[in-house]
Structure formats: C-alpha cells, structure tokens
Chain A
Amino acid sequence: AQSVSQHNHHVILSEAASLELGCNYSYGGTVNLFWYVQYPGQHLQLLLKYFSGDPLVKGIKGFEAEFIKSKFSFNLRKPSVQWSDTAEYFCAVSRMDTGGFKTIFGAGTRLFVKA
C-alpha cells in the first residue's frame, strides 16, 4: 500500500545533540515533500518543503532535509537541537489523486529535548 513511513515514533535527545528523523514514502511518480512541526497544544506549521531543484532544502529554525530519490527518502536534520524543539514532527507527501491534490502524513515522531 502507498504510504508515508516515519521510522522513529519517539526520540529523546539532550540539548546540543544532533537530530535526524527518517521518512520514507512509497508513492511512484512526481511527489512533493514536506516536514511539519506541531508544538504542544498548537496546530501544524510548515518547517520546510521540497518540490524540485537542490535536493538539500533548508527550512526555518535551522532545520534541513535531504531528498534522496533512489531511496524514496526525505530525512529531517538539525545539527544542534534546543529545548524549544520539543514537538511532534510530521513528514508529508503531496501528490495528484483522483479529484485533486492530496497530502498524506506519516504517523509523526515525538521529539523530547532535555534541557
């Protein structure tokens, strides 16, 4: 079945540690890729997006992600996390479906950063 998979459901890091969250998708054809963040009690906000060009994209708050087409992956990275990065992170894939564009989300990764 076509899906978006996030490998880590829960991640606990200390401040200043490096972060990498895995995301793989199984859709063929042209897709557009996103990472969203949901801070506790808030709505989802866009971190970064990829639709063409340089496969290494930079987003807000020091986050970046690399699209590797051969691996169907779009992993999120940050060199040094902060306590304020504690949140839920969602990988998402947007593609054309019958009727219109559909954005499908992964199950999310809960990141907790210890101060």
Chain B
Amino acid sequence: DTAVSQTPKYLVTQMGNDKSIKCEQNLGHDTMYWYKQDSKKFLKIMFSYNNKELIINETVPNRFSPKSPDKAHLNLHINSLELGDSAVYFCASSPGRSNSPLHFGNGTRLTVT
C-alpha cells in the first residue's frame, strides 16, 4: 500500500499551459504539504493544509493554487507555467504534531519547455 501517492510522476509541458498534480494519503493524517525541490536539491515548503484548511502559504506566485477537497487529498494547480517552475514537487503528510516526521510521496518531476 502506497502511503502518499502523487500523480503524475513526470509532467512535460510548454510555457503558458495550465497543469495539475494530485496527491492522496491513506495514513489518516490531518496535515498535508507541498514542497518544491529545485535542480540543486533545495527543498522549500510551498503550502500546508490541516483538515482542508490552508494554514501555511509561503511566498509563492498566485499562479499556484492548492486545493484540498478532503483531508486525504491535496492537489496543486499551476496556471501559466513558466520555465522557472521546472522542479520536482513533493507532496507530504503528517499527523500535524511538531515531533512527527513527514511522509513524502515519490515526487512529480515537472519540466516546462
């Protein structure tokens, strides 16, 4: 059983397009996250949702819009894709307590051409 699953695994698209990445967790966790990992492997938090409520929104262009239909799902929609959006996007979940580690999905490698 995959605990945190993301789709698609790879996404290649052209500048200006709109695309979505989906994430689902079956761990019963209350909190879900999106992280962006750039080409230098640097991981930066983008968003966090707790029980469908947005609780962390870092300085991310408003072309990025997360949506959480229920606490087991957190999707990421990106409008007007730019070259700089190319990265690996990781979804993660946790029970929400600060001493709880994050459980990561396998990542979505987005390439914008």
Contacts from A to B (Cβ < 8 Å) = 30, 32, 34, 36, 38, 42-46, 49, 51-52, 88, 90, 94-97, 99-105, 107-108, 110
Contact = CB atoms under 8 A, between A and B. Distances in A.
27 contacts: A30-B98, A32-B99, A42-B106, A43-B90, A43-B106, A44-B43, A44-B90, A44-B102, A44-B104, A46-B102, A49-B99, A49-B101, A88-B41, A94-B98, A99-B55, A100-B31, A100-B48, A101-B94, A101-B97, A103-B45, A103-B94, A104-B45, A105-B35, A105-B43, A105-B44, A107-B41, A108-B41
Nearest to B58: A102
Nearest to A47: B101
Interface of A, secondary structure class, is strand
Interface of B: 31, 33, 35, 40-45, 48, 50, 55-56, 90, 94, 96-99, 101-102, 104-107
Given A43-B90, A100-B96, A107 B101 contact: no
Given A34-B101, A46-B102, 17 more contacts: A32-B98, A43-B107, A44-B90, A44-B102, A44-B104, A51-B99, A52-B99, A94-B98, A94-B99, A97-B56, A100-B56, A101-B98, A102-B56, A103-B33, A103-B102, A107-B42, A108-B41
